[in-house]
């Protein structure tokens, strides 16, 4: 994987570039739709390509390992063949999901023991077997096995957790660098910065991660309930230490405003469940502001969902019709709203990229953040 720099904003730390992987190129800044169990919920691959214009999507080691399982994925020839997405895929390593999903889990030096949230069966994730699992899934970019330090937590826990994540990282690197890809194309391992919200730990973790000299780096342990100002402070601190010539991926972020603010701090890659999760609840992100489509106000509004956004669903369907589908709990409602919100997120990062290339990002960002927060 290579990262080519194209432009840097003169009035912020925002940058535009191109990531090249075995399954194609990615224009950064980029938003990566979350496809947890091998599907971006309620969205066809064709819609992801043609409407959303997604360039890379996420899969999840924890979910895919449990279901459909590694045998099926290996027999299919990897996730790209299994779900038909022939562009880049990134898989999270399971560290976060074990904590957010499985009821019972226990951290030991070897790894994490947990019970499946599906059938209660017992499993052990280790840095080594998580690398092997991600080799079998076949994502272009794979994440190190880490502990996403819970928030809030005391300094001692954060320090111990970070140090264990660093030990696990070395084991990931040792395993990854001594095993081969399974399907004939190169994969890339990204390490993940931890350190919770403690400045000295964040500095230490960023320096450790930078020293591994991998092709890209991720920032973890954020978007876990901390105030946005704290997220920005930690991200800026870490971005100033991570090498500028490598892509920076801020995990699990975020709202449209979070994304623009973090692009200004030097982040290149984002993923979040918000666009799809909120869509299913009727919360739409639009070029005019945020709409709760279930609201009475839209009952007889026959104007397009978002005429300015472009794309099939946002111009073909009306607000009134989508409101009706949501109230009737019709599946098409979730599908339309999901494609719309994802199209909005990719539009937003595309606009940001154009502004960075034109050298006008900073002023555009400040004005756009205000507009994005408007509740219609």
Ligand X SMILES: CO[C@@H]1O[C@H](CNc2nc3cc4c(=O)[nH]c(N)nc4cc3[nH]2)[C@@H](O)[C@H]1O
| Residues tagged active-site | 92, 271
Distance, in Å, from the CA atom of 172 to the CA atom of 128, rounded to the nearest integer, reads 6
> Of 176-184, 217-225, 232-240, 368-376, which part binds ligand X (CB under 6 A)?
217-225
Ligand-binding site membership of 92 (annotated): yes
The per-residue DSSP string of 240-290 comes to: TTS-TTS-EEETT---HHHHHHHHTTT--EEEESHHHHHHHTTEEEETTEE
Q: What is the total count of residues that contact ligand X (CB under 6 A)?
A: 18
Distance, in Å, from the CA atom of 170 to the CA atom of 167, rounded to the nearest integer, reads 5
Residues 6+ apart with CB under 8 A from 192: 95, 143, 144, 146, 165, 169, 209, 217, 218, 219, 220, 251
The b-or-e profile of 158-171 (16+ CB within 10 A means b, else e) is bbebbebbbebbeb
- Least separation in angstroms between residue 6's CB and ligand X is 28
Distance, in Å, from the CA atom of 25 to the CA atom of 21, rounded to the nearest integer, reads 6
> Of 5-13, 70-78, 141-149, 262-270, which part binds ligand X (CB under 6 A)?
141-149
- Least separation in angstroms between residue 64's CB and ligand X is 14
- Least separation in angstroms between residue 273's CB and ligand X is 5
Q: Which of 113, 115, 98, 97 is nearest to 34 (CA)?
A: 97
260 or 325: CB nearest ligand X: 260
Establish if 192 lies at the interface with ligand X (CB under 6 A): yes
Angle (CA) 212-30-167 rounded to 5° is 25
Alpha-carbon torsion angle 247, 151, 99, 181, nearest 10: 10
Q: Which of 75, 65, 76, 79 is nearest to 119 (CA)?
A: 65
Asked whether 136 and 76 are in contact (CB, 8 A), the reply is: no
Residues 6+ apart with CB under 8 A from 233: none
145 or 361: CB nearest ligand X: 145
- Least separation in angstroms between residue 75's CB and ligand X is 27
- Least separation in angstroms between residue 274's CB and ligand X is 5
User: Which member of 148, 209, 325, 342 binds ligand X (CB under 6 A)?
Assistant: 148
Question: Pattern of binders to ligand X over 75-114, x per CB under 6 A?
Answer: -----------------xx-xx------------------
Question: Pattern of binders to ligand X over 244-283, x per CB under 6 A?
Answer: -------xx-x-----------------xxx---------
Establish if 57 lies at the interface with ligand X (CB under 6 A): no
Q: Which residue is nearest to ligand X (CB)?
A: 252
- Least separation in angstroms between residue 154's CB and ligand X is 18
Ligand-binding site membership of 146 (annotated): yes
60 or 355: CB nearest ligand X: 60
229 or 296: CB nearest ligand X: 229
Backbone angles phi, psi at 39, to 5 degrees: -145, 135
How many residues are given for the chain?
A: 376
Establish if 29 lies at the interface with ligand X (CB under 6 A): no
User: Which member of 47, 51, 146, 268 binds ligand X (CB under 6 A)?
Assistant: 146
Neighbours of 44 (CB within 10 A): 14
User: Which member of 36, 223, 341, 355 binds ligand X (CB under 6 A)?
Assistant: 223
92 or 140: CB nearest ligand X: 92
Helix, coil or strand: residue 319:
helix
Ligand-binding site membership of 93 (annotated): yes
Residues comprising the binding site for substrate? 92-96, 146, 194, 221
> Can you give the binding site for ligand X, defined by CB under 6 A?
92-93, 95-96, 143, 146, 148, 192, 220-221, 223-224, 251-252, 254, 272-274
């Amino acid at each position: 994987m290579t990262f080519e720099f194209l432009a840097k904003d003169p009035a912020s730390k925002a940058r535009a570039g191109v990531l090249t992987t075995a399954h194609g190129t990615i224009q950064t800044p980029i938003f990566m739709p979350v496809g947890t169990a091998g599907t971006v919920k309620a969205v066809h691959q064709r819609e992801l390509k043609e409407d959303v214009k997604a360039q890379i999507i996420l899969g999840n080691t924890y979910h895919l390992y449990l279901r459909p399982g590694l045998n099926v994925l290996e027999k299919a020839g990897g996730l790209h063949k299994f779900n038909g997405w022939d562009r880049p895929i990134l898989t999270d390593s399971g560290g976060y999901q074990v904590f957010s999903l499985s009821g019972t889990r226990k951290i030991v030096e070897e790894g994490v023991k947990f019970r499946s949230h599906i059938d209660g069966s017992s499993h052990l994730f280790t840095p080594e077997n998580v690398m092997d699992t991600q080799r079998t899934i076949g994502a272009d970019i794979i994440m190190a096995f880490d502990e996403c330090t819970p928030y809030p937590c005391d300094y001692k826990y954060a320090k111990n957790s970070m140090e264990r994540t660093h030990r696990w990282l070395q084991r990931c690197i040792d395993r990854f660098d001594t095993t081969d890809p399974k399907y004939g194309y190169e994969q890339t391992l990204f390490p993940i910065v931890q350190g919770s919200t403690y400045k000295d730990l964040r500095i230490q973790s960023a320096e450790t991660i930078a020293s591994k000299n991998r092709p890209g780096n991720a920032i973890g342990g954020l978007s876990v309930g901390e105030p946005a100002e704290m997220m920005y402070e930690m991200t800026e601190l870490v971005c100033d230490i991570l090498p500028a010539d490598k892509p920076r991926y801020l995990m699990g972020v975020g709202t449209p405003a979070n994304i623009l603010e973090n692009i200004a701090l030097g982040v290149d890659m984002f993923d979040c469940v918000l666009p799809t999760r909120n869509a299913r609840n009727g919360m739409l992100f639009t070029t005019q502001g945020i709409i709760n489509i279930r609201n009475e106000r839209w009952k007889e509004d026959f104007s397009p969902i978002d005429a300015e956004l472009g794309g099939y669903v946002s111009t073909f369907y009306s607000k009134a019709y989508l409101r009706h589908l949501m109230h009737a709990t019709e599946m098409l409602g979730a599908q339309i709203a999901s494609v719309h919100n994802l199209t909005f997120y990719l539009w937003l990062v595309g606009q940001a990229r154009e502004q960075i290339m034109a050298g006008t990002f900073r002023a555009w960002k400040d004005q756009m953040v205000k507009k994005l927060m408007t509740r219609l």
